[in-house]
Chains A and B, each alone.
Chain A
């Protein structure tokens, strides 16, 4: 019994690490750049498939792909924000109008990225085996690749938290999140900061995609499911709160692991149920103001 319980908790933490990383990216994009990026999962998919290609075709170690997927996704996100969302921001009448317009625009991005990827990679489900050796954790067996995933998720989360809390640019990001106009007046290059945040969010998605491809098979339509999970976690943690998303990710991972233990078919339905209850009872989330 104790071993089963431990089993469930560790499995939940392993899942939660990935959810936390994905949700932090989305939280950054929504909390600072005010874009509820429905195409977030497509960056995850791009990261996963790029890693697959680099690993199986060129024989590059997936962990080295981190140094490729991260910057690539960052550049893509940065450019998209500088061109598309920047334009929307100037043409939208109010912040509310920008939120709905940018959400709809990200639907457009979803279709564009997903179908370009479909043309490039095709619909097949791709997988490879890397570090798939069992590790004994307090009596329960887990793949080493999943532990590496958890380690990376926590390391990136902490590094990013320190970056936002301690550096000058981090301060600018926090200021932009609170009030973009005033931050601009105080000398923050607001266009650059917003684009950077969108880029960082995309980079986290790309890295998460790389980590996911180490543990699970990937294909071009995987994105939307992760986007939805990310949205649920972000709402759970409080829209715009980065620590909230980090904690929320682990909470959802644990819930998913418990429900899967009872009935695996119900885990996604359980996520939505929590999400719906949360929106009705406490839309500001656990860490929200």
Chain B
């Protein structure tokens, strides 16, 4: 009897995840095309947020570079989409982003705290303006067309990327490597003294997280069909993952998923009719979360479960 309960406890979470995966994989057979497109957008935001949390959650470095990596993916699809099969384009998009992240990380991960946030924020704008200048000067056009792909393919690619991302996150969290990451977040110097190669761990994790953003960018570009530097390197794609992660809470792996899903849905409902009110709400929720919900939705749920007021601090 006892072993059965234990067995159930051990298997119910993976089992639940498998059921959810099967439901998501067969989504297109029982919902409308519109819902599939909405689900694709939600998956995209979940990927951006989860991969942001992969690096920034444990280490505490606030990266505002997601838009840069996402944009690199988008431009990979815009340049190579016509010549190569889609999965190859997505992989190249991911690799290109992680190469950029390796370079940026090696240069800047010595910067602490606020400097790193400022730098990564500047990076997005730098790439946008450089690309805009290049396009106008040398190609003579502002934007590019991206090869069109049908909605279901985009959805399945997105789902595949998310599954790989979640597996990667899980494995990193469980490994010695994840422990090293967390120790960097707690105290970088102490981590270095216990033998962690601080720079290598930070740079590699940064690159891994960037590769998923790039892959997501490469696949979503095929849905947008037209891109220009302002669309591809929109700083909003840097802020969104941060807000979604903070709103959802970074303590548990499902926190960012909750945050991303909630906001992606809100965006879909509000942005076409009331764009200003959507962005206004975005700001208000961000402020309220920072002020009153330091652990986000996850913190709220845990507090309600315990019935008391938790005293854990935000992992910023």
Contacts and interface: CB of A to CB of B under 8 A. Distances in A.
Contacts of A110: 283
Contacts of A101: 290, 314, 316
A265 B133 contact: yes
A109 B283 contact: yes
Interface stretch (A50-58, A114-122, A162-170, A187-195): A114-122
Given A84-B287, A266-B133, A279-B115, A111 B235 contact: no
A232 B313 CA distance: 31
B235 A108 contact: no
A269 B130 contact: yes
A115 B279 contact: yes
A116 B277 CA distance: 8
Contacts of A235: 118
A235 B108 CA distance: 15
Contacts of B137: 263, 265
A235 B284 CA distance: 29
Contacts of A36: 114, 117-118
Interface in B224-271: 235, 239, 242-243, 246
A136 B108 CA distance: 46
A84 B283 CA distance: 13
Contact of B242 (A91, A104, A115): A104
A116 B280 contact: yes
Nearest to B313: A93
Interface in A212-239: 224, 228, 231-232, 235
A246 interface: no
Interface footprint category on B = 35 or more
Contact of A275 (B60, B122, B239, B279): B122
Given A115-B279, A276-B123, 5 more contacts: A84-B287, A100-B117, A104-B286, A104-B290, A231-B122
Interface of B: 60, 62, 107-108, 111, 113-115, 117-119, 121-123, 125-126, 129-130, 132-133, 136-137, 235, 239, 242-243, 246, 276-277, 279-280, 282-284, 286-287, 290-291, 294, 313-314, 316
13 contacts: A36-B117, A88-B290, A99-B114, A101-B316, A104-B290, A104-B316, A105-B291, A107-B283, A111-B282, A268-B125, A276-B126, A279-B115, A279-B119
Interface of A: 36, 84, 87-88, 91, 93, 96-97, 99-101, 103-105, 107-112, 114-116, 118-119, 224, 228, 231-232, 235, 263, 265-266, 268-269, 272-273, 275-276, 279-280, 283
